[in-house]
Amino acid sequence: MELNNDITWHHRKVLRKDRMSLVKGQNKLIWFTGLSGSGKSTLAIELERRLYEGGFLVYLLDGDNIRHGLNRDLGFSKSDREENIRRISEVSKLFFDSGIFVITSFISPFKKERDSARKLVGDENFIEVFVDCPLEECERRDTKGLYKKARAGLINDFTGVSQEYEAPENPDLVLNTNELNVEGCVDRLIDYLGL
């Protein structure tokens, strides 16, 4: 999409480096990706709590919650999923620029969109966390009943069933929720962050 020539970028006097002097340490964008039912939101919620209790400013952007507001106009086609992640990447960049830890929990099935999110904040600031869980286990959990509906043909373009999931090739961290419990996964994340 081409930018409108009538739009001007306004340079600010308070920069990221200035805001960073007010917060504790170096912030990161922590990007959870994985199939529906893998445990992304559960881990993200617990990580947000642990960081907050550790004295860090942190904000969680969750896929379902975002679709109640900002992205409520989007469906689940490939192009809508791409737009969903493009928007949340831009929002994440703004939150990151404010100096706080940003946690996102989105299926984000396509490598290209995850790579674009990484590029927005810089490789050194982006932590891709692959929440790895076998499809069979995700379907067994199926707390929302979505896999059942997808298998019955009631939901089209469902990731892992009728739409591809491009698993990360080189994630920064892999958490296998079929083998580790929530506390164990979050402990690994905290260790990875060096906090």
Regarding beta strands 29-33 and 173-176, do their DSSP bridges make them parallel or antiparallel, or are they unpaired? unpaired
- Residues sharing a CB contact under 8 Å with residue 166, sequence separation 6 or more, in sequence order: 109, 110, 111
Phi, psi for 166 (deg, rounded to 5): -90, 95
Regarding beta strands 101-105 and 173-176, do their DSSP bridges make them parallel or antiparallel, or are they unpaired? unpaired
> For residues 36 and 146, is the Cβ–Cβ distance under 8 A?
yes
- How many Å apart are CA 20 and CA 38, to the nearest integer? 33
Is 108 one of the catalytic residues?
A: yes
Using left for φ > 0, alpha for ψ between -120 and 50, and beta otherwise, residue 58 falls in beta
Q: Please tell me which residue in 41, 92, 105, 108 is annotated as part of the active site.
A: 108
- How many Å apart are CA 163 and CA 161, to the nearest integer? 6
> For residues 76 and 156, is the Cβ–Cβ distance under 8 A?
yes
> Nearest-CA neighbor of 177 among 28, 27, 85, 46?
46
Active site residue ranges: 108
